[in-house]
DNA sequence: CTGTTAGCGCTTTCAT
DNA sequence: ATGAAAGCGCTAACAG
């Protein structure tokens, strides 16, 4: 159904129909009424958005958010949700829509992204070899990556995860002798399990990689052999999984007295496990997390404060061209709470 | 920057450039390389999405979600998030994007919606007089409303809130003598406060209206004077607000022994308040909620089970034209738990 | 393997 | 107040 079909049926010119929809004041009321009536009867869907954009050259007025994770997962992660909320705030301000582009890891992603009706992209952290990253670059539209990887042609919005992890590990591990890491997935396979001596450079997910590197830095500074530190890799960022994995490792008798966790979620899971195992925090085990979320406050958890909301907003402003990229990284700071007081 | 500019600069025809981007196998490798190089140098952003859609007539391949609430609010509500996750699942399956259209309540909304680069709409529950509802209707694109209002030209996806509320109130209030309602906002103003004898028909938000009507039905069936039931209206759907409002009302000495709440969130807040006030549940006060969420299980809360995830998925399938509207409403059932056992 | 032609549905510009 | 013409950037169909 097109303007011209409506025009034919109403016995007027195409322009009259166009005016009726875009500039009603310019047509006579009687004509307008007739056109509206005919359009209604024919079920005219209104001017085609693509054609209108083509003619007006006004852009699509929507921002694309490329998600390697399934959307369910994003919404299950409260901090990811904060990030999206930050983007959404700026989109609202700019009168833009926010288009989620859920990729599946298949070749279809390229088509999804190439043909996405959006003016710019924000890419949620992914691996350097992700095909959707290439698709975004090939689209030559403005693009911002959150978390990593740093890539040519993209602005990066992220804290310095390596330094933050090092500071956290120094706080949690010093004074102890049996450190452990509770870790995000290493790559798209999301294989879980406990490993030793992982080379951070071999890790695909940039956030996991950088934080592991920071832990390694801290181990070196503290004179701890990196090979001896258990790295408990979780498939998902949930308190449940943190709890279960810590329970099995420590329940099996592994000596651990300081857990650096890559999120507050996982850290809270660890603290739940420690509670069940009768290992008081911080007396027997110190714990630290990331994000300074609400549960971190409730559990008196030492954590790396950062604002995913602000980062989302900044990513959006850069993608929308409202803010210049700038080279400075986002802010973080270590929040010391009871969970890391070595008594 | 357009295909033809690239073509001119590369010394080939427009079609060759088009093929390079859409069907690379069809051009000689040497030509392809040259075109790609020139496109790169010129900063060509790839084929224009609008023009391509216009020519291919393939649709925009994105679903629009119209949100009357601020996006922040949607993400703060775990059940709303489930609904979005359900939509997202179907979008992923169909290779569609999901475009959030955050309306602001101003006239700009009409433009945002009319020009949205989406093929169909899902509207999150809103008031009948919402201008964005009219804008969606005027767009003549397929549209589904969640929760309400029922409106001509829209498919409604919702449980029967009135019957569900009545069943819940019958369970929570019978055997007691001082019922109360913990209520969602009544209208866009989101004014909070305790009221008596609200006429459900005067309430703008359809979900609040229908659930209040169900409560009124139950009051009548139980022989309780509707005018005497305090209706505690909350501005937001959060445990904090439920806790605070119940604390002030009951702390001031109001006699209440059965609270029907419009969400598990609010209900859990109420139970927290009752705990602080030393009013044991269910001995002194019975409580019921909506949604059968995770906290409801933890708090042994009687609740109306429904699946927002399934409703989101169904709304999306209908909007995408994969599923026929059908007239049946979505399923709900009353889950009886300890919080309503009148002892 | 590459080019030509035609036209998608719309709106801008310039008549009438 | 209404209409005719032109063309936005792209690609399907068909040459060559």
Backbone angles phi, psi at A245, to 5 degrees: -70, -35
pLDDT, averaged across chain A: 91
Residue A71 near residue B85, CB atoms below 8 Å? yes
User: What sign does the CA torsion over B207, B211, B212, B217 have?
Assistant: positive
Distance in angstroms, CA of B5 to C1' of C1?
A: 21
Closest Cβ–Cβ partner in A81, A111, A114 for B46: A114
Smallest Cα distance from A45 to chain B, Å: 4
Q: pLDDT tens across B167-206, in order?
A: 999 999 999 999 999 999 999 899 999 999 999 999 999 9
Q: What does the alpha-carbon distance between residue B214 and residue B187 come to, in Å, rounded to a whole number?
A: 18
* Best residue of A45, A99, A272 to probe chain B, by most B CBs closer than 10 Å: A99
Q: What is the pLDDT of residue A306?
A: 98
Chain B residues in contact with A100 by the CB 8 A cut-off are 88, 91, 97-100
Q: How confident is the model at residue A199 (pLDDT cuts 50, 70, 90)?
A: very high
Alpha carbons A120 and A100: distance in angstroms, whole number = 12
Interchain pair B53, A52: CB under 8 A: no
Q: How much is the pLDDT for A177? A: 95
Q: What pLDDT sits at residue A172? A: 98
| Residue position matching structure tokens 């449980």 | B159
Q: What is the mean pLDDT of residues A58-64?
A: 83
pLDDT of residue A220: 98
- Least confident range from A173-187, B123-137, B294-308: namely B123-137
H or E stretch covering A298? helix A294-298
**A216 and A222 Cβ atoms separated by less than 8 Å:** no
Q: Residue A237 in contact with residue A184, Cβ under 8 Å?
A: yes
| Of B119, B126, B85, nearest in space to B309 by CA | B85
Shortest Cα distance, chain B CAs vs residue A50, angstroms? 4
* Confidence label for A181 from pLDDT (cuts 50, 70 and 90): very high
Q: Is A116 in contact with B43 (Cβ distance < 8 A)?
A: no
Mean pLDDT (whole number) for B126-141: 87
pLDDT at B104: 84
What are the two backbone dihedrals, phi and then psi, of residue B315, each rounded to the nearest 5 degrees? -55, -45
pLDDT tens track for A70-126: 666 777 788 888 899 899 999 988 888 899 988 888 877 887 888 788 889 999 999
Q: What is the CA radius of gyration of chain A?
A: 26
- Residue A288 CA distance to nucleotide D7 C1' (Å): 62
From chain B, the residues in CB contact with A108 under 8 A are 95
Quick one: average pLDDT of B119-145? 89
Averaged pLDDT score across all residues of chain B: 91
pLDDT at site B111:
78
pLDDT computed for residue A163 by the predictor: 98
Please tell me the distance from the alpha carbon of residue A308 to that of residue A125, in angstroms, as a whole number.
13
Distance of CA B321 to the CA centre of its chain: 20
What is the mean predicted confidence (pLDDT) over B244-264? 96
| Mean pLDDT of the B42-53 span | 78
- pLDDT tens digits for A204-252? 999 999 999 999 999 999 999 999 999 999 999 999 999 999 999 999 9
Q: What's the whole-number mean pLDDT along residues B66-71?
A: 78
Does residue B9 lie within 7 Å of nucleic acid chain D, judged by its CB?
Answer: no
DSSP string across A54-107 = HHHT----EEEEEESS-HHHHHH-HHHHHHHHHHHHHHHHHT-EEEEEE--SST
What whole-number distance in Å separates Cα of residue A98 and Cα of residue B55?
A: 24
Tens-digit pLDDT profile for residues A279-303 = 999 999 999 999 999 999 999 999 9
pLDDT of residue A44 exceeding 80: no
Between CA A55 and C1' C16 the distance (Å) reads 24
Q: Which residue is nearest to nucleotide C2 (CA to C1')?
A: B16
Record the tokens describing residue A38, joined without a space: 């005919």
What is the pLDDT averaged over residues A267-289?
A: 97
Of A149 and B53, more confident: A149
> B58 pLDDT exceeds 80?
no
Distance CA A305, CA A6 (A): 58
Contacts of A61 in chain B (CB under 8 A): 112, 115-117
What's the pLDDT score for residue B72?
67
Report pTM: 0.85
- pLDDT tens-digit readout, B96-129: 889 999 888 887 888 788 878 888 999 999 999 9
Q: How confident is the model at residue B234 (pLDDT cuts 50, 70, 90)?
A: very high
Any strand D atom closer than 7 Å to B48 CB: yes
pLDDT band at B39 (very low <50, low <70, confident <90, very high): confident
Residue B56 confidence (pLDDT): 76
Strand D closer than 7 A to residue A2 Cβ:
no
Per-residue pLDDT band at B215 (split at 50, 70, 90): very high
What's the pLDDT tens digit per position in A1-29? 888 888 988 899 888 988 887 787 888 98
Where does chain B have alpha helices with state H? 3-10, 14-22, 29-42, 49-56, 71-76, 78-94, 108-114, 131-139, 161-173, 206-222, 239-251, 264-276, 294-298, 308-319
Q: Mean pLDDT over residues A181-185, rounded? A: 97
Q: Which residues pair with B232 in a beta bridge?
A: B182, B194
Locate A259 and state its tokens: 């857990």
Pick from A84, A138, A141: CB nearest B75: A84
d(C-alpha B281, C-alpha B300), whole Å: 10
Residue A15 CA distance to nucleotide D4 C1' (Å): 10
H or E element at residue A124:
strand A120-124
Q: Decide: A33 and A24 in contact? Cβ < 8 Å.
A: no
State residue B127's pLDDT score.
94
Q: What's the 3-state SS for B52-119?
A: HHHHHCCCCCEEEEEECCCHHHHHHCHHHHHHHHHHHHHHHHHCCEEEEEECCCCCHHHHHHHCCCCC
Question: Of B70, B61, B79, nearest to B106 (Cα)?
Answer: B70
């Amino acid at each position: 159904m097109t303007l011209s079909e409506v025009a034919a049926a109403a016995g007027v010119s195409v322009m009259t129909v166009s005016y009726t929809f875009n500039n009603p004041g310019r047509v006579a009321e009687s004509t307008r009424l007739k056109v509206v009536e005919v359009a209604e009867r024919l079920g005219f869907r209104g001017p085609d958005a693509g054609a209108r954009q083509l003619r007006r050259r006004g852009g699509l007025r929507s921002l694309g958010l490329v998600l390697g994770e399934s959307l369910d997962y994003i919404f299950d992660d409260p901090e990811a949700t904060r990030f999206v909320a930050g983007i959404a705030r700026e989109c609202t301000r700019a009168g833009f829509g926010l288009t989620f582009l859920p990729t599946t890891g298949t070749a279809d992603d390229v088509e999804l992204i190439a043909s996405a009706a959006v003016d710019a992209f924000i890419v949620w952290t992914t691996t350097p070899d992700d095909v959707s990253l290439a698709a975004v670059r090939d689209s030559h539209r403005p693009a911002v990556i959150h978390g990593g990887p740093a890539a040519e042609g993209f602005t990066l919005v992220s804290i310095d995860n390596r330094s933050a992890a090092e500071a956290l590990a120094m706080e949690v591990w010093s004074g102890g002798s049996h450190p452990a890491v509770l870790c995000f997935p290493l790559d798209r396979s999301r294989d879980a399990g406990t490993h030793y001596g992982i080379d951070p450079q071999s890790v695909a997910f940039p956030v996991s990689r950088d934080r592991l590197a920071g832990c390694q830095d801290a181990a070196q500074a503290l004179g701890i052999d990196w090979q001896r530190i258990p790295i408990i890799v979780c498939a998902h960022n949930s308190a449940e999984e943190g709890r279960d994995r810590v329970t099995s490792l420590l329940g099996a008798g592994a000596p651990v007295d300081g857990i650096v966790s890559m999120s507050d979620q996982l850290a809270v899971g660890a603290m739940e496990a420690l509670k069940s195992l009768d290992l008081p925090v911080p007396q027997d085990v110190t714990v630290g997390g990331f994000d300074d979320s609400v549960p971190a406050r409730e559990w008196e958890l030492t954590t790396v404060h950062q604002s995913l909301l602000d980062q989302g907003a900044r990513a959006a402003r850069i993608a929308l061209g409202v803010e210049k990229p700038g080279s400075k990284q986002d802010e973080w700071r270590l929040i010391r709470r009871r969970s890391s007081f070595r008594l």
